[in-house]
């Protein structure tokens, strides 16, 4: 039997459940990109904030493309479980924060109406790096930012709020981009400038774009995970997510209006997110991409296998401690050596089965903030980064098809670039495919193309 409000009496007693009346909670958040990460992170924090006494922060999720999540969650009244996995016992929690899921291309009006509803105060995003529709220089790509992008729902809804005299919104990016709030703000403005310029002053006065650092490793759920879970909890949960016990959320405290008291359930509200975000992108995500491309090249399938490989373990420490950490201006009390040690322990979690190929996708969108910014800092000081160069070399092999078809929004251009006479120039040159301030020297090119 399927998990839902009406089948809850059959849910195994060991599952923790939301200690609040879901029916009393109105929607306060509209979230674009309701994938596994959001369900194990922001929705999980919001659920516990409502349990701690907050009201009216239920979430309407929006899928920009696929109907899958709507099909998973709507028949379950938005309910799903989060399993925290480690070598010890798993912990399972039922999350009640999601009210419903809309499929944007089929329910355009409902999406706009949800954002324009008076009770909505926050619109948040985990649309992945490519969902922001950026050109290589970071500006909005007007061809990509089409009727199916989040901009095409958000901006008409903001216009409706202005016309109705409603307050502005907090627009909260929860993606792995450097200065994600600043980037979102700039891109939304560029879209508005082209489509409804008279809205700009209202956005400036009424909306905010806090930056955030989000962190929780959430591998894609497999059919085997779902079958094992059903045996344990006594119900089928098509929307279940599997994650690690660790979770971190650092949020710039710059909200346009009310917000959940996420800090009551472990989030950190700070004045400046940058040191945390930079460390996370360059150390955690940078190491992840390194393990992905170099690990696949060495025949591994999962992150925990790659980090157990002594050669890759050493390369990962080199990247985190000798290459990334020296480029980060740490906040007071932020211990980057300890951070690196904890990351290695998280990567080694044998219960997660985090696939390297999942991390390897969308390299063109990920590598600028994960590796190229680090390289650029060292280049100014004429220092080498052997671990990142090894990673770039493995990425180029990946683009040449070493691990099967390339999953990247720019796959066609990347494949042409690596087949060209000068791949270094095509990828990283002044007019290269990637947004960067890093131009490899001859020696660096020789290493990555070796």
The residues that touch ligand CS2, with contacts defined as CB under 6 A, are 176, 215-217, 285, 288, 358-359, 366
Residue (of 104, 89, 92) closest to 157 by Cα position: 104
* Element holding 157 (H helix, E strand): helix 151-164
Nearest distance in Å: CB 436, ligand CS2: 18
Nearer to ligand CS2, 57 or 249 (CB): 249
Nearer to ligand CS2, 15 or 281 (CB): 281
Nearest distance in Å: CB 359, ligand CS2: 4
Please report which residue ranges of 286-419 form alpha helices under DSSP H: 286-297, 303-307, 310-317, 336-347, 356-360, 363-367, 373-380, 386-399, 411-419
Residue 169 near residue 122, CB atoms below 8 Å: yes
Sheet strand arrangement including 98-103: 98-103, 58-63, 27-32, 122-125, 170-173
Can you tell me the distance from the alpha carbon of 440 to that of 243, in angstroms, rounded to the nearest whole number?
Answer: 37
Can you tell me the distance from the alpha carbon of 437 to that of 450, in angstroms, rounded to the nearest whole number?
Answer: 22
Nearer to ligand CS2, 17 or 313 (CB): 313
Residue nearest to ligand CS2 (CB): 288
Nearer to ligand CS2, 28 or 391 (CB): 391
Nearer to ligand CS2, 203 or 320 (CB): 320
Nearest distance in Å: CB 217, ligand CS2: 4
Nearer to ligand CS2, 37 or 151 (CB): 37
Can you tell me the distance from the alpha carbon of 126 to that of 44, in angstroms, rounded to the nearest whole number?
Answer: 14
Nearer to ligand CS2, 77 or 215 (CB): 215
Provide the 10 A C-beta neighbour count for residue 40: 26
Residue 113 near residue 30, CB atoms below 8 Å: no
Nearer to ligand CS2, 134 or 288 (CB): 288
Nearest distance in Å: CB 301, ligand CS2: 15
Nearer to ligand CS2, 347 or 438 (CB): 347
Q: What is the distance, to the nearest Å, from the Cα of residue 369 to the centroid of all Cα atoms in its chain? A: 13
Q: Tokens 């199916």, residue?
A: 148
Nearest distance in Å: CB 246, ligand CS2: 9
DSSP, collapsed to helix, strand or coil, labels residue 80 as strand
Can you tell me the distance from the alpha carbon of 316 to that of 307, in angstroms, rounded to the nearest whole number?
Answer: 8
Residue 365 near residue 408, CB atoms below 8 Å: yes
Can you tell me the distance from the alpha carbon of 238 to that of 73, in angstroms, rounded to the nearest whole number?
Answer: 7
State the DSSP string of 20-72.
S-GGGPPEEEEEE--SHHHHHTHHHHHHHHHHTT--S-EEEEEESS-SHHHHH
Nearest distance in Å: CB 56, ligand CS2: 28
Residue 238 near residue 76, CB atoms below 8 Å: yes
Residue 78 near residue 100, CB atoms below 8 Å: yes
- Taken in order 56, 24, 265, 303, is the CA torsion positive or negative? negative
**Eight-class DSSP state of 321:** I
Nearest distance in Å: CB 302, ligand CS2: 13
Nearer to ligand CS2, 199 or 284 (CB): 284
Nearer to ligand CS2, 256 or 360 (CB): 360
Nearest distance in Å: CB 82, ligand CS2: 15
Nearest distance in Å: CB 353, ligand CS2: 13
Nearest distance in Å: CB 259, ligand CS2: 21
């Amino acid at each position: 039997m399927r998990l839902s409000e009406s089948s809850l009496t059959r849910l195994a007693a060991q599952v923790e459940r939301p200690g609040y009346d879901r029916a009393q909670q109105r929607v306060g958040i509209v979230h674009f990109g309701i994938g596994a990460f959001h369900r194990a992170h922001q929705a999980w924090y919001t659920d516990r904030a409502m349990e701690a006494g907050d009201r009216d922060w239920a979430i309407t999720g929006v899928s920009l493309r696929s109907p899958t999540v709507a099909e998973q969650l709507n028949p379950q009244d938005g309910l799903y479980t989060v399993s925290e996995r480690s070598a010890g016992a798993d912990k399972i929690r039922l999350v009640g924060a999601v009210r419903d899921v809309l499929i944007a291309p089929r329910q355009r009006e409902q999406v706009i109406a949800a954002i324009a509803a008076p009770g909505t105060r926050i619109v948040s995003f985990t649309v992945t790096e490519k969902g922001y529709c950026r050109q290589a220089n970071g500006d909005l790509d007007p061809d990509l930012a089409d009727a199916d992008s989040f901009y095409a729902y958000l901006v008409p809804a903001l216009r409706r709020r202005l016309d109705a005299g409603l307050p502005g919104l907090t627009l909260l990016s929860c993606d792995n981009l450097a200065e994600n709030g600043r980037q979102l703000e700039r891109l939304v403005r560029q879209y508005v400038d082209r489509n409804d310029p008279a809205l700009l002053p209202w956005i400036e006065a009424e909306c905010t774009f806090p930056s955030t650092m989000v962190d929780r490793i959430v591998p894609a759920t497999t059919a085997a995970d779902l079958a094992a879970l059903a045996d344990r909890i006594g119900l089928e949960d098509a929307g279940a997510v599997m994650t690690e016990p660790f979770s971190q959320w650092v949020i710039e405290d710059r909200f346009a209006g009310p917000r959940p008291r996420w800090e009551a359930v472990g989030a950190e509200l700070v004045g400046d997110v940058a040191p945390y975000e930079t460390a996370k992108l360059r150390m955690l995500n940078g190491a992840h991409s390194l393990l992905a491309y170099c690990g696949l090249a060495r025949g591994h399938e999962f992150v925990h296998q790659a980090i157990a490989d002594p050669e890759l373990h050493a390369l990962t420490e080199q990247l985190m401690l000798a290459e990334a950490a020296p480029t980060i201006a740490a906040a007071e009390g932020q211990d980057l050596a300890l951070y690196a040690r904890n990351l290695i322990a998280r990567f080694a979690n044998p219960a997660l089965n985090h696939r390297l190929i999942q991390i390897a996708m969308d390299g063109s969108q990920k590598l600028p903030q994960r590796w190229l910014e680090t390289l650029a800092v060292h280049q100014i000081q004429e220092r080498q980064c052997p671990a990142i160069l090894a990673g770039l070399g493995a990425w180029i092999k990946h683009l040449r098809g070493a691990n099967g078809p390339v999953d990247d929004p720019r796959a066609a251009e990347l494949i042409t670039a690596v087949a060209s006479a000068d791949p270094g120039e095509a990828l990283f040159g002044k007019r290269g495919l990637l947004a960067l301030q890093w131009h490899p020297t001859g020696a660096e090119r020789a290493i990555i193309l070796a």
